[in-house]
Chain A
Amino acid sequence: MQSANLLLKKLLRSSVLPFAAQHGMKKDLFPLSRTLSLSRCLKQDNSCDPSEKLDLDGWKKVMKSGLQEAVSETVSEHKELSTLAAAREILEMWRLAGRLVPENISEEQLKTYIECPSKSAKKKYLKYLYLRELYKRNNKRKTDGKRERKLESQEEASKSDETKRNSLVCLWANSMDRAYSWRLAQSMIFGQPLVFDMSYEREMSAREVANTVRQLVLSEGCNRRSVDPFHIHFCNFKDNSLYHKEFIKHYREAWGRLLITVTDQCYTDVFPKDKLIYLTADSPKVMKTFDHDKVYIVGSMVDKSIKTGCSLARAKRLGLETAALPLEKYLLWHSGAKNLTLDQMMHILLTLKDTGDWKKALEFVPKRKYYGFVNKPVDELKKTLNLINTLKLGKRQEEIRKQFAKNYSKKLTHK
């Protein structure tokens, strides 16, 4: 079998080379008909000086002359292509064609790419990888630059050779960490619990899970740094789930040392039912004040394709009380969904816990989503907005009517 393959390869090699050679010869032997047409073109154009005649097909010769070596290379590489290698080659061609495709792609990413169900999904995934690569490269450039500058300044400092005296040993980061941990440990005994419901894995794509975990890591971080942290519970947490894998990616060994409670139990098993409040944007009830005796539940879910009623369904099934943030009441909403990211929720809840001031807490809602804070009652504002809109629209309508009348009279005169 192998020998047959070898033979085939040899045949291929020997058959391609003469073909290429023949091709080259043909060019030299027959002055192509195209050059003929060119000369005719030149005759017509008298302004063109014959001395500066252009060899318009010169590029073809250049392209083909460089091929002789290239051909022998490609032939020696010629193998039976696996699907992965084939995909890699297509990607390379796309990159050459100037599409948004990453330069380097790992085996794993390539597999995900092949498994994408449609052409557009593939395109999207590639663009995502491309942008990520771009960000990484830019970041690396920046950090490299910083490091160099730092080294330079250090050298200068060492030249000047000046020892500084300080009463405190520089151990800030370490001691800060210890202080935070102390506070967290306290909150784990005395603090108010905050539950993250980790039961949404089935509703999310792998990328959404990754985003969720990122947001959770951020919220854990800001909880740790706060003055009076929550006692965080991850409920319905299954070992070896996607969530778990992503967490390990982020925290590595530190995952085991985190000062939070992780359990596969449901929150209804951990806490009395009447103390639980499920926070969801779909809730018909609006939160009025922050209750320090209740246990709030936040669904750990990122839904890029907004799936309404998912978390509300959870609460309904278990018969829990629900609540939504009073966004409408305090903010004049502009655009965007009312669901916020997990770290924003964390910021808001922490601020509420510390101060109970809604205005301060809702500062953490992204600015692009609202026009401003509501000072007057909302109804009044809405009325003025409506008035403005109708005035605007009314004017526009009149304009359209005028335009129409104009066109119409034109048509009539044409007739």
Chain B
Amino acid sequence: VQPPEKPLQAEEWNRLRESFQSPEVFEEVMFNSMLRCNSPIDVAKSLLTHVAKSNGDIAYNLLVKYLALCVQQGQTSEICDVYDIMKIKFKILEGGAYNLLIRGMSNSDQWRMALTLLEEVKKIMIPSRTNYESCIKAAIRHQEMNLAFELYHEMLAKDVVPTLDVLQAFFDFNRGMKGAELQKELFGILLYLRENQIYPHKTFMRSIKLWFESIPGGNWRGHLTNITDSGQCPVCSHQLEDCDLTEEEYNNLRERIIRDVIHGTDTFRKTSPQEFEAFQTFVENRLPFDIVIDGLNVSHIKPRKMHCENLFDAVNCLAKENARLLVLGRKHMLSNSSNWKREIMKEMQNKAHFFFAENISEDDAFLLYATLRSGKHCKFVTRDFLRDHKACLSDTLTRHLFRKWQRGHQIAKSEKVFLSVSIQQPALPYDCVVQTTGDTWHIPYKDTFEEKYSYQVPRKWLCIQQKL
């Protein structure tokens, strides 16, 4: 339905309503299309008047739709009126109406009203991130920084994830401001990005850069750059943090892999206690390895070639560097078949250590264990993203640790290019997070707003240094 352009009389509405195929939902449909076409508010008012006069009441959902129209057009006084009516008519409102009211109020000069509404929402549920976003932005816009930060911390305390827009607003509106407290808070936001491995997008990055450069007397200078493969910043020649975990994090991760990934709810689901014990003694007796290879995964790299040939190429290529290799496989690889030739398997076993798991066991879990047990220098080779294993880890902190460790230790393509077409980057020697040394900041950023696979890390960086 096309909404009319001018307010209509009651009879005209009646006529329209009767010509509509299902008159029961006529008002709803009409309001929806008004919202879509952004019709003038007077048209909506005339419809409401018509409904009110014929029914003596207006249903809640129609009021909400009208409210949405008012918010869309920024009609503050109307929003207030609707709120008054709703307030007397209903004891409480639901989330949708509150969302609209908060959004509408926060953009007006009555933005403090939005804060009282937020308090009301808190009584019945946890406010959504957009509720907080509106309130914080309103507070920032009116230079009430303390209030804004208070709300921001409250939001974090409630485990509500802030939108990037809010974080960006903090940087945008504090340009040129002075104050140690303020600086600390904004650095806190950057550290929040670091802890949660969030990468700002390009415009956000620009806001950060401009804010740094505008600090009075700060002498900060920002440059956009690409970090070299070795992890050195070409601008300030600072070496970035490496991917290595601390001793404690490392042990923690290993414990969690054993507990959550290998054992999980039932050890028998992925392996069996006997097999795992056998594997543990096998690894202990031959430590440490330099590279652990997922045999079955590597053997499927080139589909035209025989499976064992692929594996043979990989092992040969990696063995040249005098590395201690461990290849994980399954027992069926030992039975002489068209894909697995016994002679080749024999020859490979001279160059590397082999462990064959049961055919129904999962070898990936063993791969992780063996690599982690060998120490920080040990890498592993597989094209698998290991997402399902990461998903077994129960808390986000350990998942972040796992991601970080995986970035530094997984090889899907060696420098010698034995695996033709690569799927993933080679293991990076540096860690890809927001980082600081006090007088420098390095911030990775995404080029576009969305496009990024979770396994890819940005290659572009913002380097900020302080010249004293």
Give which listed residue, B58, B124, B269, contacts A313 with CB less than 8 A.
Answer: B269
A356 to chain B, nearest CB (A): 28
Q: Does B453 contact A (CB under 8 A)?
A: no
> What is the chain A residue whose CB lies nearest that of B94?
A93
Interface string of B91-123 (1 = CB under 8 A from A): 111101100000000000000000000000000
A114 to chain B, nearest CB (A): 11
Size class of A's contact patch? 35 or more
Residues of chain B within 8 A of A308, CB atoms compared = 269
Contact A57 B92 (CB under 8 A): no
Interface string of A278-318 (1 = CB under 8 A from B): 00000010000000000000000000000011101110110
Give which listed residue, B88, B96, B269, contacts A20 with CB less than 8 A.
Answer: B88
Give which listed residue, A23, A34, A312, contacts B360 with CB less than 8 A.
Answer: A312
Stretch at the interface among B49-57, B426-434, B438-446: B49-57
User: Contacts A97-B60, A317-B268 known; A62 to B52 CB distance under 8 Å?
Assistant: yes
Q: Does A402 contact B (CB under 8 A)?
A: no
Give which listed residue, A54, A57, A58, A97, contacts B97 with CB less than 8 A.
Answer: A97
> What is the chain A residue whose CB lies nearest that of B57?
A66
> Quick one: which of A47-100 are within 8 Å of B by CB?
48, 52, 54-60, 62-64, 66-67, 70-71, 74, 86, 89-90, 93-94, 96-99
A97 to B67, CA, bound (A): 12
Q: Does B81 contact A (CB under 8 A)?
A: yes
Contact A63 B52 (CB under 8 A): yes
Interface of B is mostly: helix
A311 to chain B, nearest CB (A): 10
The count of chain B contact residues (Cβ–Cβ below 8 Å) is: 44
Residues of chain A within 8 A of B97, CB atoms compared = 97
Q: Does B46 contact A (CB under 8 A)?
A: yes
Q: Does B272 contact A (CB under 8 A)?
A: yes
Give which listed residue, A55, A93, A99, contacts B92 with CB less than 8 A.
Answer: A93
Contact B57 A63 (CB under 8 A): yes
Residues of chain B within 8 A of A34, CB atoms compared = 77
Q: Does A41 contact B (CB under 8 A)?
A: yes
Contact A54 B94 (CB under 8 A): no
B88 to chain A, nearest CB (A): 5
Residues of chain A within 8 A of B89, CB atoms compared = 63, 67, 70
B95 to chain A, nearest CB (A): 8
Q: Does B288 contact A (CB under 8 A)?
A: no
A56 to B81, CA, bound (A): 13
Residues of chain A within 8 A of B64, CB atoms compared = 97
Interface of A is mostly: helix
Contact B268 A316 (CB under 8 A): yes
Interface string of B229-270 (1 = CB under 8 A from A): 000000000000000000000000000000000000111111
A288 to B91, CA, bound (A): 66
Contact B60 A59 (CB under 8 A): no
> What is the chain A residue whose CB lies nearest that of B59?
A96
Residues of chain B within 8 A of A57, CB atoms compared = 45, 49
Residues of chain B within 8 A of A97, CB atoms compared = 60-61, 64, 94, 96-97
A64 to B359, CA, bound (A): 75
A362 to chain B, nearest CB (A): 24
B296 to chain A, nearest CB (A): 15
> Quick one: which of B261-304 are within 8 Å of A by CB?
265-270, 272
Contact A93 B60 (CB under 8 A): yes
User: Contacts A34-B77, A64-B85 known; A89 to B269 CB distance under 8 Å?
Assistant: no
Contact B61 A62 (CB under 8 A): no
> Quick one: which of B29-75 are within 8 Å of A by CB?
42, 45-46, 48-49, 51-53, 56-61, 64
A-B contact pairs, 25 of them (CB 8 A): A23-B84, A45-B6, A56-B45, A57-B45, A57-B49, A59-B45, A59-B52, A62-B56, A62-B58, A63-B52, A64-B88, A90-B92, A90-B94, A90-B124, A90-B125, A93-B92, A93-B93, A96-B61, A97-B94, A119-B125, A119-B126, A309-B270, A312-B268, A312-B269, A312-B360
Given pairs A59-B49, A90-B92, A316-B360, 8 additional interface contacts (CB within 8 A): A56-B49, A63-B57, A64-B85, A66-B57, A94-B94, A97-B60, A119-B126, A309-B269
Leading 4 A-B pairs by shortest Cβ distance: A313-B268, A96-B60, A59-B52, A93-B94
